[in-house]
Amino acid sequence: MDFFDLIAVPLIVRASLVIMFPFSAFDKIVHWKAAMQQATSSFLPGGAILLVTAIVVEFATPLCIVTGWHDRLAAFVLAGFCAVTALLYHPFWKFPHFWSKAGEGRSHFWDFLKNFGLVGGLLLIVIGGIPAHVTSVLEHPLSSASYSAETSIPASSHSIANP
């Protein structure tokens, strides 16, 4: 079960977390013109530099995260990328009635929240340390910390039997 615990499960979990990013980078390359329009839609200058940087980040960081090579740094960079992308390109608050079905900002609202959901998952890699073994998860399925329902009371040096 070591291969399953140590390699297969972490690989699948990490790949699931970052699977969309290489496809997003590829989409930016294939649809360069549309991606350039989006890159230049924010107040930041240098659309082409921003776009190339995004492509590099979206290709390189998932590889690092999945393989475990500088995975914490890569997860931190990708989390920052997701946060900045949410703030710059999904400003749902700028659209009136963004919550209504016909509201233009509705999709931005959900994309904003999805980005910050990814930020949370990526930061778990940054601060998470060693992943739990599958057997540990099966033994304690509802909590990441093993604990006992029994309470232990420390023995006192001044008990009735030993005055």
Mean pLDDT of 103-115: 88
Q: What global pTM score does this model have?
A: 0.77
Mean pLDDT of 123-146: 73
pLDDT for res 47: 84
| DSSP characters over the chain | -HHIIIIIHHHHHHHHHHTHHHHHHHHHHHTHHHHHHHHTTSS-S-HHHHHHHHHHHHHHHHHHHHHTTTHHHHHHHHHHHHHHHHHHH--GGGSTTTTSTT-TTHHHHHHHHHHHHHHHHHHHHHHH-SPPPHHHHHHSTT-SS---SS--PPPPTT-SS--
Query: Domain containing 127: what range?
Result: 2-132
pLDDT for res 151: 47
pLDDT tens digits, one per residue of 67-84: 989 999 999 999 999 999
pLDDT for res 149: 45
Q: Count of domains in the chain?
A: 1
On whether residue 143 sits in a domain, the answer given is: no
